[in-house]
Amino acid sequence: MQSFVSSLVSVAFHGLAYGMILYVISVGLSVTMGLMGFVNLAHGVFAMAGGYVMLTAMNRYDVPFLLALSIAFVSVAAASILLERLLYARLYTAGDLEQVLLTIGLIFMAVAVARLIYGTLQQPVHLPAYLKGQFSLLGRDFPAYRVFLIAFSAVLVAALWFGVERTRWGAKVRATVDNRPMAQAIGINTSRLFTITFALGSGLAALGGGLGADITAIQPTYPFEHLVYFLIVVAIGGLGSLRGPFVAALLIGVSDTACKYWVPQFGAFFIYAATIALLLWRPAGLFGKA
């Protein structure tokens, strides 16, 4: 019995940590795709860029971890404003297919550029000493890095929820997403609002890429390899919701970990089966507006 409780704790912890990684790397997409309605398949490009920026700063210039992470957030958000003005803004009113084609093209270009600059090997991640090793609680050891991930993501979730649901900016974004012409008519500068929101989404992606770098390796094909996970999280969570992707990421993280732990023969298959089942049950996602 005690060993069962102990394994339950393990599964809950690792599932939570994995769910948080999924959430952190996908939350940016739930902002651009979920809130702004732009099918941004190139989301992973921003995450990868964030990872590269952070690791370059750390490995080449000895910048401390948290500072490097902030640099990644700021620089990728800034770069994305340029992209948004040059490319994305032109396709806000276009159909899904055009958006998909543009962003898939961006992925191919980003993969080639990353390979040209950094080569094909993954970038080494040297975490600071306080994130290495284990963290003792109630006689059990928890990996410090994963504890940090969980805590950081929890703060992020709270901040985002507060920002979108409780601030003036959040209200404007929601108004613009619901009815753009009407929002413009009452004096909201929607194009600037979207630029800022897009930059936030990309910055969050960069944060996710940097934070998760020790588990989701930073290498050129990153945007392709994790695309399916981003999309699953956003699809299950439901478009236009911020709570949704959070619940979805946790659900997937915990159930995937439980499956790996107790019935490893099912392997990676489970996550897809769960996605199919959930979407059959609620085609618009858990919290989506049908």
Partner 1 sequence: MRIKLMACIGAVALVAAAGLATAQTVKIGVLSTYSGPTAAQGDQLDKGIKLFMKLNGSKLPPGVKVELVVRDDGGANPDNAKRIAQELIVRDKVNFLTGVVWTPNAAAIAPLAGEAKVPFISMNAAGVAIPYSSPYFARVSFTLWQSSYPLGQWAAKKFKRAYTVVSDFAPGHEAEEAFTKGFKEGGGEIIGGVRIPLANTDFAAYMQRVKDAKPDVLFAFNPAGKQATAQMKAYSDLGLDKAGIKYIGPGDLTTDEELPSMGDAALGVMTVHHYSAAAERPANKAFVSAYKKEFGQNLNPGFMAVGAYDGMQLIFDAVNSLKGNVDPERIMAFIKSYKNPNSPRGPIAIDPDTRDIVQNEYLREVRKVGGQLANVEVETVGNMVKDPWKQFNPKK
Contact characters 263-282, partner 1, x per CB under 8 A: -xx-xxx-------------
**Site stretch for partner 1 (CB under 8 A), options 62-70, 81-89, 198-206, 211-219:** 211-219
Pick out residues in 52-91 that bind partner 1 (CB under 8 A).
none
Dihedral (CA of 255, 258, 260, 264) sign:
negative
Orientation of helix 2-29 relative to helix 190-211, angle to 10°:
140
CB 114 within 8 A of CB 52: yes
Orientation of helix 43-61 relative to helix 227-237, angle to 10°:
130
Comparing CB distances to partner 1, the nearer of 61 and 281 is: 61
Comparing CB distances to partner 1, the nearer of 180 and 226 is: 226
CB 288 within 8 A of CB 239: yes
- Cα(123)–Cα(121) distance, integer angstroms: 6
Pick out residues in 117-176 that bind partner 1 (CB under 8 A).
119-126, 133-134, 141, 143, 145-146
Comparing CB distances to partner 1, the nearer of 43 and 146 is: 146
Residue type, 184: Q
Comparing CB distances to partner 1, the nearer of 122 and 195 is: 122
> From the CB of residue 224, how many other CB atoms can be counted at a distance below 10 Å?
17
Q: Which of 81, 104, 154, 215 binds partner 1 (CB under 8 A)?
A: 215
For the chain, what is the radius of gyration of the CA atoms?
Answer: 19
Number of residues that bind partner 1 (CB under 8 A): 45
- In angstroms, how far apart are the furthest CA atoms of the chain? 64
CB of 94 to partner 1, least distance (A): 29
Q: At 15, is the secondary structure helix, strand, or coil?
A: helix
Which residues of the chain form contacts with partner 1 (CB under 8 A)? Answer: 3, 6-7, 10-11, 14-15, 17-18, 21, 115, 119-126, 133-134, 141, 143, 145-146, 214-217, 219-221, 224-226, 256-258, 260-261, 264-265, 267-269
